[in-house]
Each structure stands twice: as C-alpha cells, then as structure tokens.
Chains A and B, each alone.
Chain A
Amino acid sequence: MNDRQPVVVGVHATEQALTLPDRDAMDLALEAVRGAIADAGLTPADVDGAQVDWPGPGGVPGEGSSWARMLGRDLRWTSDSMLDNAGSRGLLKAAAAVRAGFADTVVVGGCKLVSRGAGPVGAGVPLEFADVWGSYVVAQFALVAARHMHEYGTTSRQLAEVAATIRNNGTTNPEAMMYGRGPYTPDDVLASRMVATPFHLLDCCIVGEGGAALVVTTAERARDLPHPPVAVLGGGMEYHQAAYANPALHREVGGLGRDAATRAYAMAGVSPHDVDVFSLYDPNSFEVIRQLEILGLCGEGEGGPLAASGAIALGGKHPVNPDGGCLSYAWNGTQQMTLKVVEAVRQLRGTAVHQVEDAELAVVGNAGSGAQHYEMSVLGRMR
C-alpha cells in the first residue's frame, strides 16, 4: 500500500442533545478538534491542515485559517466552507490533500448550534420560488418519496420499518439523544402525527446540537499511532443543483449518488455486497430506501422490500446506522455528516456501541436538501 494512503486516525463526537444551553459553538468546535487530535495520539502542532468551522468569537468567523493560531503553527491546507468541513465531503477533500502531498495531517469537523432560535431547516437564505410555498427540507424529501411510492409501489409501512429499525438501534445506545425512548414498532411510526405525507413524525430525524471532528493522515504517519488506522479506500461526490431553489424531482435525483457509488467502489476495488456496515444519511425513512438502490444493494425501486426484509437491522445482511443515526442518535446540522464517519471508524476499530461483528469494510453516505447532493466514502480496516 502506498505510503501516502490516506487514513483516519482520530475521531471525536461531543455530547449530542436537543439543546446544549451551557455550551457555545466555539467551545464545541474546540472540544471536537482537541478530542480528535488526542484520540489520534497527536498534538495540535502535528496538524498542518484544518477544514473546521470557526464560529468565533475570536479569529475571523467563517475563516478556516483562524485555526492556525489555535494549532500553534502555519497551516498548509484550510477551508472556509461549512460543507467542506464535514462528513464524506470533508474527509475526501482532506484525503485528496494528504494523498497529493499538500498537507500531511488534516483535521476536519466543527459544530453548529442549530435548534436554538432557528427556523425550519432550509437553505439559510431566502429562496424566491420556494419559501412562499412553505417548501422546506421535510417537504422536499417528501416530494421525492411520494413519486417513488407512485412509481414502484413503495409503501408507508416499508418506510415505517426503516424508521423503527434505526430508531431502535438508538433506543439502546447510551450516547443517543433518544436513548431509552422506544422501542418502536412500524405501527408506532404509522400512528405518529403526520408532518408532510408520506412522512409521519417518527419517519423524520431529530434536530439537535453538538460537534464532531476527525483526523486524516498518511498510512506512513499512522504506523506509530495508538489506534488501528482506517483507510479511505474510495469515494465519490455528486451534485445535481443548489439546495432547495428548485424542487427535488424524483426523475432527476432518484438515482443521485449511483455514479458516485460506482466510482467509489471501483476505486476501492470492492463490491457493495462486500460492505459490512453502512453509515447513511437518514433525515427520514425514505432516504435510506433510496440509498439502498443507488448503493447497488438492489435494483431501482426495490429498496422498500429490501429495507422491510430485515436486511438493514443489526445482524441483517446490510446493517444501517447501528448508532441510531439521525433518527435517534443525533442530528446537529452539517456535522451530523461527520458523526457518520465517526460511527464507521468505530465499527472498523471494533469499538462501536452496537458493534457489527468483525466489520472490515464500511460505507459512509451523506446527502441532503431533498437529495440534491450525495457524497460517499468507502472505509476499510487496514490489514
């Protein structure tokens, strides 16, 4: 294996909660960065790249190079974009930088305090032809789900099976926001109040606050670090259009991510059926069904029956979100994407709360905005 093979050597998730009244964004970001660097067995001065949110106070809010003074050294790589600081997208950009030699060790992450006084989740800027119609994230995904159901016969009960399965993983995860709540049956999901058809309340993810970070370096540098390195074996990204300005149409975005997945698997030299555990974006139950299709686990339109067959449960053929995902563990704005990487890394280290036995290969899938974008990475235990 190439010496510059990018590997994840450190991860940290802060506490995740509906609201963290005693924390501010900067202190959560600092904890995430300190935690990930410490977990990697490194010191701040070992890090020469930072793709991390800088909310302030101090520095220049939004400017990533503010981290140079915290890390105590000049940086070789940085990012000013919230989406470049999270999840597979952040990880792949950091991995590309490490692979190319622009930097040796990059920290990726941040935090957001989203629920405090925030409006509904949306683009964050006024959208002339969307806001006036009451379009928002749940409704945008609902428009895609409704068309999928119309074309393929996907049912509300299949959606409810997904929600119940993933939520029940969180029920027994002490780190999950919804720990101890549940367990849920599909009937419980179907009996919860309607948010936007076909999504009931329990089909939709939670909204909370928290931070997360990870550290990427080279396989060579990782040799004398404490944790077994997790290799970034492949990845792919796909962008249909900017978020929310136009409605998400199933005919345009139903298959979004398939190209990214095909590239990612080819790069990693693996097939989707080799993957032991999936850490997937679950803003709602349907988006998991869509991803089963684009990730190549079944044909187009077959995601509903596959999800309802028990395949995505712990112990199933394709376990999805053993931590409880965004439906039960945590959703904290863009950093929920980093939490997906954190869970995959823990699974591959063998230290997850709900460990998939002998997990060697994981997929992290991030998406959003009614599936207008998709970013996925293939991670593997180094042998």
Chain B
Amino acid sequence: MNRPVPVPTELSEPFWEAARRGDLVVPYCPACDLRFFVPEPACPGCMGPEWWYVPSAGRGTVYSVTVVHRAPGPGFDTPFALAVIDLDDGGTLLSHVDAGDPDAVVIGLRVRVDFRLLTDEITLPYFVPER
C-alpha cells in the first residue's frame, strides 16, 4: 500500500492544477476579504457563495509542528515534520517541512513552499526553511 493520494473535487481541482504548474493558490472571498484553506462550498467567514483562487507567494511561518515517528500507514518516510504553516498573505496549511533534520523544524521557523511530484496528477506543496 502506498501513501494516500488526494482525489481532486470540483472545489479543489484548480488548486491541484496550479500545483502542477508550481503555483500555490488559496481560496479567497471578496465579500469579507478572507483567504482560507481548505476549500469549502461557501466562504467560512461569511457563508458567501462566491470565492475564487488567488496566488500566494508561498512564504510563511510554522505555527505548530509534530515530528511523526509512527506514520499512520505505509508510504511515509519516518520521521517527518508535520507542520501547520501560516502563510504571510493569508491562509493556513497542513504540510511537511523538509529541513533535513525534522527536529530542526520548530515553531516560528520561516519557510517557503517547495513543490514535489507525488504522481502524474498530484504535485504537493511541501515547505522548506526560507534560507
């Protein structure tokens, strides 16, 4: 068994399409000027029906991190740093931060997006230390 592969939905297809091009995009609601993640059927800020994807510069800060030694299933190289990243331009993502040594990934670490191929369809937004 391999690592679970995301199955795009009508909400997320543009996200994965952008990721294949190496672009990070996040849902944006113009009515309440909110960037959010994950994509939802309506804006989680105002329940507004209209939102669209906007580009993110892909830079942010580690809000929290756990170094996972026991993966939930096969297909993961352990240990890995599972982190929550607050993007500078809005939105909060779950990802992995690859800093070589997972224990070097600490809260407050500055990171930037680093796309990596998972399958032909899915390219994943990893993060790496900013410098």
A231 on the B face (CB < 8 A): no
B42 on the A face (CB < 8 A): no
- Number of residues from A at the complex interface, CB < 8 A: 33
Taking CB atoms and an 8 Å cut-off, the chain B residues in 52-70 that contact chain A are: 63-70
A126 on the B face (CB < 8 A): yes
Across the interface, which residues of A come within 8 angstroms of B64, CB to CB? 143-144, 146-147, 150, 247, 249-250
Across the interface, which residues of A come within 8 angstroms of B65, CB to CB? 143, 146, 197
The 0/1 profile, CB within 8 Å of A marked 1, for residues 41-81 of chain B is: 00000000000000000000001111111111100100110
A134, B84: Cβ atoms under 8 Å? no
A247, B84: Cβ atoms under 8 Å? yes
B82, A133: Cβ atoms under 8 Å? yes
Alpha-carbon gap, A249 to B96, bound state (A): 16
* Contacts known (A132-B118, A135-B82, A247-B84); A195 close to B69, Cβ less than 8 A: yes
- Number of residues from B at the complex interface, CB < 8 A: 35
Distance in Å: Cβ of B33 to nearest Cβ of chain A = 20
Alpha-carbon gap, A249 to B122, bound state (A): 26
Question: Among the listed A122, A246, A251, which residue makes an inter-chain contact with B72, where contact means beta carbons less than 8 Å apart?
Answer: A122
* Contacts known (A130-B94, A135-B94, A245-B38); A147 close to B69, Cβ less than 8 A: no
Distance in Å: Cβ of B64 to nearest Cβ of chain A = 4
- Give the secondary structure class of B's interface: loop
B94, A146: Cβ atoms under 8 Å? no
Distance in Å: Cβ of B72 to nearest Cβ of chain A = 4
A132, B7: Cβ atoms under 8 Å? no
B38, A134: Cβ atoms under 8 Å? no
Alpha-carbon gap, A129 to B84, bound state (A): 12
Nearest first, the 7 closest Cβ-Cβ pairs linking A and B are: A120-B72, A142-B66, A136-B72, A131-B4, A147-B64, A197-B67, A143-B64
Instruction: Known A-B contacts: A249-B64, A249-B84. Give 6 more (CB < 8 A).
Output: A122-B72, A143-B64, A146-B107, A194-B67, A196-B66, A196-B69
List 16 A-B residue pairs with CB atoms under 8 Å apart, sorted by A's residue number.
Answer: A122-B72, A129-B6, A129-B37, A129-B38, A130-B94, A132-B5, A133-B82, A133-B95, A134-B3, A135-B72, A143-B65, A146-B65, A150-B107, A194-B79, A195-B70, A196-B68
